[in-house]
Amino acid sequence: MSTARPRIYRPTAANLARLAGLLRRGGLVGVPAETVYGLAADALSAEACAGIFAAKGRPGTDPLIVHLASARDLDRVAVPNAAALALAEAFWPGPLTLVLPKRPIVPDNVTSGRPTVAVRVPAQPHFRRLIRLAGRPLAAPSANPFGYISPTTAAHVRDGLAGTALSAVLDGGECPVGVESTIVDLTRPERPVLLRPGGLAAEAVERVLGLPLARPRRARLSAREAAPAPGMLTRHYSPRTPLTLHRRLDAATLAALPADEAVLLLRRPAGPASKRVRWLSKNGDLAEVARGLFGALRALDTAGWKRLHVETVEGNEGLAPAIRDRLTRAAARREA
């Protein structure tokens, strides 16, 4: 295994053609999505996709999302139904992943042996262009080592996956959404299930479907157990520094914290600035909070603090459930 860091490529026509060639030959490429950066490979090649699991240290029980250039290609990899077509029409390209019965062309390791496949059309134009140039769907999980904070810049990917088989990252700038896609299971379209809150509000999905989304209680599983419900690990997205979540961090609580502990707030606090207090938006705007969340956690995680204190969000609308989900998992205690 190489110890070299992957190289970052600007999204020029020549670079896109070159990275598409790498993907066609079974290679790995770090890709910008509108949500977070992905680690992409040819979704129709079991061998190429095995490289994704190896580079991330991801257990084979956690299936991958298949990315398409256009909703017209859905039928190639999955068996669509009316509900899926309605959601695709309303929200693709965009941060929505649909779980549907799979076609045999999708290798078993992509779906962890399941009869279903997770599919989406990403909104990031360079990523979509790369899928088109590669001429095949691309499987891509988030481009972080398994369990660590998801990457939202090309540099995060390069630094996190140095020393793996990944040699190239396509630079699309900072991800505008900042949290992963919303995942909806439509295997039984009469009972749609929200598997992961994400960058698209669940209520927007419910409006198009005309049905409420079922929300399974999260299974508590350690990374080593075979996961019956994939992606439901309690601990995920986690900084190495211990993290405590707070409903509200007021000035008195802040003042009482030890000097070697840092704080991440949703909105700018009143009072003077200090080195150990960061905030995600001026006024608590949740799109801004989501966009900056993973980057801020990474920056704090590498700054040598003893503990991070993070304010969580309330509410069940818009991006609030996705942000709270990521923070709750980041704060979960490391399991044995």
Residue 153 binds ligand TXA (CB under 6 A): no
Could you write out the DSSP letters of every residue in 285-318? -HHHHHHHHHHHHHHHHTTT-SEEEEE----SST
User: How many helices and strands in the chain, by DSSP H and E?
Assistant: 10, 14
Burial 184-200 (b: 16+ CB within 10 A, else e): bbbbebeebbbbbbbbb
The minimum distance between CB 114 and ligand TXA, in angstroms, equals 5
Binding residue for ligand TXA, selected from 63, 176, 197, 295, defined by CB under 6 A: 63
152 binds, among Mg ion, ligand TXA, none (CB under 5 to 8 A by kind): none
Could you write out the DSSP letters of every residue in 100-167? EEBPTTS-TTTTTT-SEEEEE----HHHHHHHHHHTS-EE--BSSSTTSPPP-SHHHHHHHSTTSS--
Residue nearest to ligand TXA (CB): 231
Spatial neighbors of 271 by CB under 8 A, at least 6 apart, are 251
Q: Is the dihedral of CA 11, 14, 18, 21 positive or negative?
A: positive
35 binds, among Mg ion, ligand TXA, none (CB under 5 to 8 A by kind): ligand TXA
The minimum distance between CB 33 and Mg ion, in angstroms, equals 11
The minimum distance between CB 35 and ligand TXA, in angstroms, equals 3
292 binds, among Mg ion, ligand TXA, none (CB under 5 to 8 A by kind): none
φ/ψ (deg, to 5) at 193: -125, 130
Binding mask 191-230 for ligand TXA (x = CB under 6 A): ----xx---------------------------------x
The minimum distance between CB 18 and ligand TXA, in angstroms, equals 21
261 binds, among Mg ion, ligand TXA, none (CB under 5 to 8 A by kind): none
Confirm if 57 and 145 have CB atoms less than 8 A apart.
Answer: yes
Residue nearest to Mg ion (CB): 142
Provide the angle, in degrees to the nearest 10, between the axes of the packed helices 13-24 and 125-134: 50
Peptide bond into 239 cis (omega under 30): no
41 binds, among Mg ion, ligand TXA, none (CB under 5 to 8 A by kind): none
C-alpha span between 165 and 160 (Å, rounded): 12
Residue 153 binds Mg ion (CB under 5 A): no
Residue 142 binds Mg ion (CB under 5 A): yes
- Residues in 82-141 that interact with ligand TXA by CB under 6 A: 95, 97, 99, 111, 114, 116-118, 122, 140-141
116 binds, among ligand TXA, Mg ion, none (CB under 5 to 8 A by kind): ligand TXA
Binding residue for ligand TXA, selected from 27, 181, 186, 292, defined by CB under 6 A: 181
CA angle 270, 271, 276 (to 5 degrees): 100
Residue 142 binds ligand TXA (CB under 6 A): yes
| Contact positions vs Mg ion (CB under 5 A) | 142
| Contact positions vs ligand TXA (CB under 6 A) | 33, 35-36, 38, 62-65, 95, 97, 99, 111, 114, 116-118, 122, 140-142, 180-181, 183, 195-196, 230-231
